[in-house]
């Protein structure tokens, strides 16, 4: 029996393209947040805040598309899992978009350049890069239906957690030695907390990818160490 | 609690009884047919010879053949076909395809049924008074064919109607939907599809009239005429009438008894061959015009 | 001119009432359809959707004692007008029926039928048109080597696609489909649905269906009929996610009918 390329396939492809576009936008938001922080570029930060509206618009559109696909095509089996996964990936991406916006607002709130030493000891740039790399890997895993790549994300998330766990000690030490920079130090700590959330969200996305391709539910299970 | 085994056995028994009854009844019909055929074949076969089929009757119909009667019967069959088929088929089409359900259609149907119910001897009388006397056709093939044609007309109409009725309406509707007119639809879709049935029915009807005696009694049949007809205004001998004559009022009934069985066998064979032909044609057209 | 900016409806029904004898089968239906869209007519049995479909090629004329009031317009012309030639109209409005009804002819002659009854004689033209129609209905590859064979040798799904090809051969601009897949197996149904989706680019299609999912998959607009009335007509997406009337909601969610 030959499989035909159906109308539903077209709709699913469209949904995938939209999701990947949103993904790209969200990664740009995180990347711009990092740049804004390092350069202390308030304009760039404001841009991030503005673009967040586009991320939200994407979320609404993908939500609606999923709703329509459910209503009009009543997908089953892998098609059903794909749409369910798209729906959840969508909301995870939207959260990451919110996080990027939150980071940008911290940047806007501080009037002077962040102390490079603070950024260095807090390892925040490293965190940015790690979470962005995770987002990229996840997007690739989604695009190419690569569950092996998706599984690598669980390990990477642990590294983010590690930095996050050390952060409170590091920031406490820094504040002790730089009592003038308490506010910006606390902002950095908040950003670190947020970036850790990016890792969690990406991990959720990886679980959804594996769910839709392999029909395995990995949620709420300890990943193999 | 009821004993389900007992109930089952009782059900089974009544089933078996009824089925056996039905089987016996059907078997008895087949048996009767074989008895009649066997009787005629056994008595008639000794009379059959090439001479019997191709010679004129001789010696007051106690010797010779039945050639003119065979030819006469075929002439009458052909004549009534020419007359009855076009009229019958066309009115069948008219009644089924053109008249709407209503008074006219019901009237037409009642008339056809009534026509079919008239005894054949009445047709004979009517044929004699109209064709033979009033129209001055005399005792002739023409008068006989017209009378037989009248007799078979209701059968032709009914056969046509029934064959058309068997065609699912979706074919007509499908044709109209493509912009075809009613005439195109009938000619290109409905008729080709119903043709096998119509033809079969018609051949069977011809078989029926080949054996009719009463209608030809006063209109065409000759008691003894040892020559072939030259025109449609000639009289002819015909098998059923010949059979009647030599069995009841011949010059020597006992002598011609053998001839009578031979004649009967020929008549039966003609009908059987027609039935066979009907089946073959139905199968042939059936293949050509594939019904689901 | 201002008028030209407004997209004219391809097919329009305005205040259509239809009676079978004393039975009021359609009650004041007003509905318009744009070119190159698929409109699905849904509703419980006997709701009038098939009757409504047959208004567009005047197939109701074939049923005795029908009476119709209001306007049914195709390309801006009133098709019930005296000046309208009904055979010409049906040439322009193709129809596909619930049960595949190919004629007892060869595959080729089935598709050529519409051309022949409409007076086309040129053999080459007919040949080309038959091939094109069979390609359009995605049947060509399956039958190109047996065009002379009887249409009855095809499977049910193939027969239905043949009937679609037959309708397409006379180049209608509107295609009416009366439950075209209800007698077919799921694979054949899927093929017919894909076909409808493809044909939308060239035709305006009105389809009656009992299958809610089918309406969802193939149509742009959906009209819900109930007891001879048009209850609701809207974009299919809206109808299936947020219908305005409770009746519609009950029907499409399978809570009555």
pLDDT, tens only, C18-30: 999 899 999 999 9
Question: In Å, how far are B107, B177, C91 from C86, measured between CA atoms?
Answer: 30, 10, 9
Confidence (pLDDT) at B1: 54
Q: Per the CB < 8 Å rule, is C191 touching A4?
A: yes
Q: What is the distance in angstroms between the Cα of C237 and the nearest Cα belonging to chain A? A: 6
Query: Is a pLDDT exceeding 50 seen at residue C223?
Result: yes
Tell me the mean pLDDT in the region C169-198.
89
Higher pLDDT, C232 or B217: C232
> How would you write chain B as a 3-class SS string?
CCCHHHHHHHHHHHHHHHHHHHHHHHHHHHHHHHHHHHHHHHHHHHHCCHHHHHCCEECCCCEECCHHHHHHHHHHHHHHHHHHHHHHHHHHHHHHHHCCCCHHHHHHHHHHHHHHHCCHHHHHHHHHHHHHHHCCCCCCHHHHHHHHHHHHHHHHHHHHHHHHHCCCHHHHHHHHCCCCCHHHHHHHHHHHHHHHHHHHHHHHHHHHHHCCCHHHHCCCECCCCCCCCCCCCCCECCHHHHHHHHHHCCCCHHHHHHHHHHHHHHHHHHHHHHHHHHHHHHHHHHHHCCCC
**pLDDT grade for C255, boundaries at 50, 70 and 90:** confident
Domain range summary for chain A, segments of one domain joined by +: 2-214
**pLDDT grade for A1, boundaries at 50, 70 and 90:** very low
**pLDDT grade for A105, boundaries at 50, 70 and 90:** very high
Residues B204 and B281 in one domain: yes
Q: Per the CB < 8 Å rule, is B174 touching C163?
A: yes
Query: Is a pLDDT exceeding 80 seen at residue A95?
Result: yes
Q: At B261, which helix (H) or strand (E)?
A: helix B253-288
Instruction: Tell me which chain A residues have a C-beta less than 8 angstroms from the C-beta of C197.
Output: 7
pLDDT, tens only, B96-123: 888 877 788 888 888 888 888 889 899 9
The answer to whether C117 contacts chain A (CB < 8 Å) is no
Q: Which of B170-174, C152-156, C159-163, C183-187 has the lowest mean pLDDT?
A: C183-187
Of the candidates A4, A67, A74, the beta carbon closest to that of C213 is on A74
Confidence (pLDDT) at B146: 93
Q: B15 lies in which domain range? A: 4-47
Contact C165, C136 (CB under 8 A): yes
Residues B213 and B247 in one domain: yes
Q: Per the CB < 8 Å rule, is A72 touching C217?
A: yes
Query: Is a pLDDT exceeding 80 seen at residue B226?
Result: no
Instruction: Tell me which chain C residues have a C-beta less than 8 angstroms from the C-beta of B99.
Output: none
Residues B61 and B114 in one domain: yes
User: Best of A72, A73, A76 to disrupt the C interface by mutation (most C CBs within 10 Å)?
Assistant: A72
Please give the share of chain B, as a percent, with pLDDT higher than 70: 95
Last residue of one domain, picked from the residues B16, B31, B47: B47
Of the candidates C101, C117, C153, the beta carbon closest to that of B170 is on C101
Residues B31 and B141 in one domain: no
Number of residues assigned to chain B: 292
pLDDT, tens only, C52-78: 999 999 999 888 889 999 999 998 889
Confidence (pLDDT) at C2: 44
Contact B107, B115 (CB under 8 A): no
Q: Which of B93-107, C124-138, C231-245 has the lowest mean pLDDT?
A: B93-107
Confidence (pLDDT) at B266: 92
Q: At A20, which helix (H) or strand (E)?
A: helix A7-39
pLDDT, tens only, C186-204: 888 888 898 899 899 899 9
Residues B32 and B169 in one domain: no
Q: Per the CB < 8 Å rule, is C216 touching A73?
A: yes
Confidence (pLDDT) at A225: 39
Residues B139 and B277 in one domain: yes
Query: Is a pLDDT exceeding 60 seen at residue A3?
Result: no
Q: What is the distance in angstroms between the Cα of B90 and the nearest Cα belonging to chain C? A: 21
Question: Which residues between 181 and 210 in chain C have a beta carbon less than 8 angstroms from any beta carbon of chain A?
Answer: 187, 190-191, 193-194, 197
Binding partners of A (≥3 Cβ pairs within 8 A):
C
Confidence (pLDDT) at A222: 60
Confidence (pLDDT) at C12: 92
pLDDT, tens only, B51-92: 888 888 877 667 778 888 899 999 999 999 999 999 999 999
Residues B120 and B197 in one domain: yes
* Chain mean pLDDT for chain A: 89
Query: Is a pLDDT exceeding 90 seen at residue B256?
Result: no
Question: In Å, how far are B52, B65, B238, B248 from B59, measured between CA atoms?
Answer: 14, 11, 18, 16
Residues B214 and B83 in one domain: yes
Query: Could you tell me the two tokens for C11?
Result: 């097919």
Q: What is the distance in angstroms between the Cα of B99 and the nearest Cα belonging to chain C? A: 11
Confidence (pLDDT) at A4: 54
Confidence (pLDDT) at A61: 95
Query: Is a pLDDT exceeding 90 seen at residue A132?
Result: yes
Sheet holding C221-226, edge to edge: C93-96, C174-178, C204-208, C38-42, C221-226, C229-235
Instruction: Tell me which chain B residues have a C-beta less than 8 angstroms from the C-beta of C152.
Output: 290-292
Instruction: Tell me which chain C residues have a C-beta less than 8 angstroms from the C-beta of B178.
Output: 90-91, 94, 113-114, 117-118, 166-167, 170
Confidence (pLDDT) at A215: 82
**pLDDT grade for A8, boundaries at 50, 70 and 90:** confident
Q: Which of A1-5, B56-60, B196-200 has the lowest mean pLDDT?
A: A1-5
User: Best of A5, A7, A60, A64 to disrupt the C interface by mutation (most C CBs within 10 Å)?
Assistant: A7
Q: Per the CB < 8 Å rule, is C190 touching A71?
A: no
Q: Per the CB < 8 Å rule, is A68 touching C197?
A: no
Q: Per the CB < 8 Å rule, is B179 touching C88?
A: yes
Q: How many CB atoms lie within 10 A of CB A149?
A: 17
Instruction: Tell me which chain C residues have a C-beta less than 8 angstroms from the C-beta of B175.
Output: 103, 113, 117
**pLDDT grade for B290, boundaries at 50, 70 and 90:** low
Instruction: Tell me which chain C residues have a C-beta less than 8 angstroms from the C-beta of A67.
Output: 241
Residues B117 and B214 in one domain: yes
Residues B239 and B99 in one domain: yes
ipTM score:
0.90
CATH number reported for the structural domain that contains residue B231 in this entry: 1.10.3720.10
Q: Per the CB < 8 Å rule, is C190 touching A8?
A: no
* Domain total in chain B: 2
Q: Per the CB < 8 Å rule, is C194 touching A4?
A: yes
Q: How many CB pairs under 8 A join A and C?
A: 30
| A to C contact (≥3 Cβ pairs closer than 8 Å) | yes
Confidence (pTM): 0.79
Query: Is a pLDDT exceeding 70 seen at residue B13?
Result: yes
Confidence (pLDDT) at C106: 92
- Positive/negative CA dihedral, C99, C103, C109, C113: negative
The answer to whether B173 contacts chain C (CB < 8 Å) is yes
Query: Is a pLDDT exceeding 80 seen at residue A5?
Result: no
Question: Which residues between 93 and 132 in chain B have a beta carbon less than 8 angstroms from any beta carbon of chain C?
Answer: 100-102
The class level of CATH for A2-214 reads: mainly alpha
Confidence (pLDDT) at B291: 44
Please give the share of chain B, as a percent, with pLDDT higher than 90: 38
The answer to whether A74 contacts chain C (CB < 8 Å) is yes
Query: Could you tell me the two tokens for A43?
Result: 């304009």
Q: At C162, which helix (H) or strand (E)?
A: helix C156-169
Residues B79 and B42 in one domain: no
Q: Per the CB < 8 Å rule, is B193 touching C104?
A: yes
Query: Is a pLDDT exceeding 80 seen at residue C215?
Result: yes
Query: Is a pLDDT exceeding 60 seen at residue A223?
Result: no
Residues B39 and B97 in one domain: no
Confidence (pLDDT) at B233: 86
């Amino acid at each position: 029996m030959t499989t035909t390329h159906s109308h539903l396939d077209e709709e699913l492809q469209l949904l995938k393209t939209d999701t990947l576009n949103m993904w790209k936008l969200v990664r740009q938001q995180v990347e711009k947040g990092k740049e804004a922080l390092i350069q202390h570029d308030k304009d760039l930060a404001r841009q991030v805040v503005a673009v967040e509206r586009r991320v939200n618009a994407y979320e609404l559109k993908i939500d609606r598309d999923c709703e329509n696909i459910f209503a009009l095509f009543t997908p089953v089996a892998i098609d059903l899992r794909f749409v369910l996964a798209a729906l959840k990936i969508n909301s995870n991406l939207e959260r990451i978009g919110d996080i990027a916006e939150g980071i940008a607002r911290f940047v806007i709130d501080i009037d002077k350049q962040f102390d490079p030493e603070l950024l260095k000891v807090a390892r925040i740039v490293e965190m940015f890069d790690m979470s962005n790399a995770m987002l990229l890997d996840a997007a690739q895993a989604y695009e190419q239906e690569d569950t092996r790549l998706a599984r690598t994300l669980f390990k990477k998330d642990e590294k983010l957690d590690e930095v996050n766990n050390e952060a409170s000690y590091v920031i406490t030490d820094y504040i002790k030695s730089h009592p003038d920079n308490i506010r910006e130090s606390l902002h950095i700590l908040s950003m670190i907390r947020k970036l850790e959330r990016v890792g969690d969200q990406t991990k959720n996305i990886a679980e959804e990818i594996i769910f839709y391709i392999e029909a395995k539910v990995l949620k709420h299970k300890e990943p193999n160490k | 609690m009821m004993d389900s085994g007992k109930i089952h056995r009782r059900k089974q028994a009544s089933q078996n009884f009824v089925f056996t009854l039905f089987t016996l009844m059907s078997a008895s019909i087949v048996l009767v047919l074989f008895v009649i055929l066997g009787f005629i074949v056994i008595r008639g076969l000794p009379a059959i010879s090439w001479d019997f089929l191709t010679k004129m009757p001789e010696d007051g119909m106690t010797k010779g053949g039945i050639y003119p009667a065979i030819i006469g019967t075929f002439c009458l069959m052909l004549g009534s076909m020419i007359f009855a088929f076009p009229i019958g088929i066309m009115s069948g089409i008219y009644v089924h395809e053109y008249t709407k359900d209503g008074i006219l259609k019901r009237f037409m149907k009642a008339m056809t049924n009534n026509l079919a119910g008239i005894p054949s001897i009445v047709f004979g009388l009517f044929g004699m008074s109209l064709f033979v006397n009033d129209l001055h056709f005399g005792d002739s093939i023409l008068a006989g064919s017209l009378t037989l044609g009248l007799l078979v007309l209701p059968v032709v109409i009914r056969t046509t109607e029934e064959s058309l009725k068997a065609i699912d309406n979706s074919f007509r509707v499908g044709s109209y939907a493509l912009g075809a007119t009613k005439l195109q639809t009938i000619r290109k879709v409905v008729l080709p599809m119903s043709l096998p049935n119509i033809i079969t029915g018609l051949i069977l009807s011809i078989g029926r009239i080949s054996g009719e005696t009463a209608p030809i009694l006063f209109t065409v049949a000759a008691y003894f005429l040892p020559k072939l007809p030259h025109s449609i205004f000639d009289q002819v001998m015909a098998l059923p009438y010949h059979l009647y004559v030599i069995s009841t009022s011949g010059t020597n009934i006992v002598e011609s008894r053998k001839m009578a069985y031979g004649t009967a066998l020929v008549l039966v064979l003609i009908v059987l061959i027609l039935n066979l032909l009907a089946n073959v044609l139905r199968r042939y057209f059936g293949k050509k015009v594939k019904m689901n | 001119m201002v008028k030209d900016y407004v997209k004219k409806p391809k097919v329009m029904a305005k205040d259509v009432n239809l009676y079978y004898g004393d039975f009021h089968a359609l009650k004041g239906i007003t509905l318009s359809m744009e070119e190159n869209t698929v409109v699905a007519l849904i509703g419980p049995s006997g709701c009038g959707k098939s009757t409504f479909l047959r208004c567009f090629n005047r197939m109701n004329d074939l049923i005795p004692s029908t009476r119709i009031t209001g306007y049914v317009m195709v390309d801006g012309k009133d098709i019930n007008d005296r000046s309208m030639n009904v055979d010409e109209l049906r040439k322009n409005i193709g129809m596909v029926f619930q049960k595949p009804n190919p004629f007892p002819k060869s595959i080729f002659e089935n598709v050529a039928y519409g051309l022949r009854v409409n007076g086309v004689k040129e053999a080459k033209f007919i040949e080309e048109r038959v091939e094109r129609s069979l390609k359009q209905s995605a049947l060509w590859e399956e039958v190109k080597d047996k065009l002379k064979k009887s249409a009855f040798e095809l499977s049910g799904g193939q027969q239905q696609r043949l009937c679609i090809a037959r309708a397409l051969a006379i180049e209608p601009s509107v295609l009416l489909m009366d439950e075209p897949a209800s007698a077919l197996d799921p694979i054949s149904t899927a093929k017919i649905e894909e076909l409808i989706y493809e044909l939308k680019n060239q035709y305006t299609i009105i389809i009656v269906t009992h299958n809610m999912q089918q309406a969802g998959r193939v149509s742009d607009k959906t009209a819900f009929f109930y007891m001879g009335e048009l209850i609701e007509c809207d974009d299919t997406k809206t109808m299936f996610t947020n219908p305005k009337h409770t009746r519609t909601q009950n029907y499409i969610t399978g809570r009555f009918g």
